[in-house]
Copies of this chain bind each other. A is one copy, B any other.
Amino acid sequence: MNDATPIVRKGRKFDQVLDGARDVFMVDGFEGASVDDIARAAGVSKATLYSYFPDKRLLFMEVANMECARQSQSAVDFIDMNAAPRDVLCQAGKHFLRFITSKFGQQIFRICVAESDRFPEIGRAFYKSGPERMRAVMGEYFRAAVERGDLDIDDFTLAADQFGELCKADVWPRLMFGVVDTVSDADIDRVVDNAVQTFLARYGT
């Protein structure tokens, strides 16, 4: 399981390969994406691709890591943490739900769930930069809000998880399993408003 041929980053076309791989993986998933397709999408020969990456799996890992890092970076930057809890939660919930219902969020989730059985590193990397990061950020907010007397929470981590799950109700599974293929803003508003209401019924002051 040791990498005799580690990833090589030098060379003019490294980024091209990564971009092409990202595009194809996002459309076709891991098994569904053929290396020929990736090479074509990247505008690169297959031999060149294999000179950068020893195999398909490591190529995907590199793409997934990049993409998760990029997402978690931009995810929670723009919410005003000093507003009233109801507003903070609504903003955060809607932002979150919009992301996980986007074509992009869906596909990353799909691939990570499917492949983390065969390649556990993929799943763990996703968890760290996705759910775990959300936990941390919300936990921090909860701590401050409790200190101000705005919320009454004992287990910050569990509360954060509960909120995230509440936001998924109804709309997310229907999308994930292809019962619908679009989610309206009205749906998002309805679900998140309801999630916030339930959440505050338990943890509000």
Interface residues of A (CB under 8 A from B): 29, 31-32, 107, 109-114, 116-118, 120, 123-124, 126-127, 131, 155, 157-158, 161-162, 164-166, 168-170, 173-174, 176-179, 191, 194-195, 197-199, 201-203
Contact = CB atoms under 8 A, between A and B. Distances in A.
A62 B121 CA distance: 31
Contact of A178 (B107, B124, B198): B124
A192 to B, nearest CB: 12
Nearest to A167: B165
Contacts of A124: 177-179
A168 B164 CA distance: 10
Contacts of A164: 169
Quick one: copies of this chain in the complex? 2
Nearest to A197: B202
6 contacts: A29-B117, A31-B31, A110-B113, A110-B114, A131-B177, A165-B165
B173 A131 contact: yes
Contact of A199 (B111, B114, B198): B198
Given A114-B114, A124-B179, A158-B191, 10 more contacts: A109-B113, A110-B113, A110-B114, A111-B114, A113-B113, A120-B178, A123-B178, A158-B170, A158-B194, A162-B169
Given A110-B114, A199-B198, A169 B161 contact: yes
A71 to B, nearest CB: 15
A174 B199 CA distance: 22
Contacts of A195: 162
A130 B31 CA distance: 26
A132 to B, nearest CB: 8
Contact of A176 (B123, B161, B201): B123
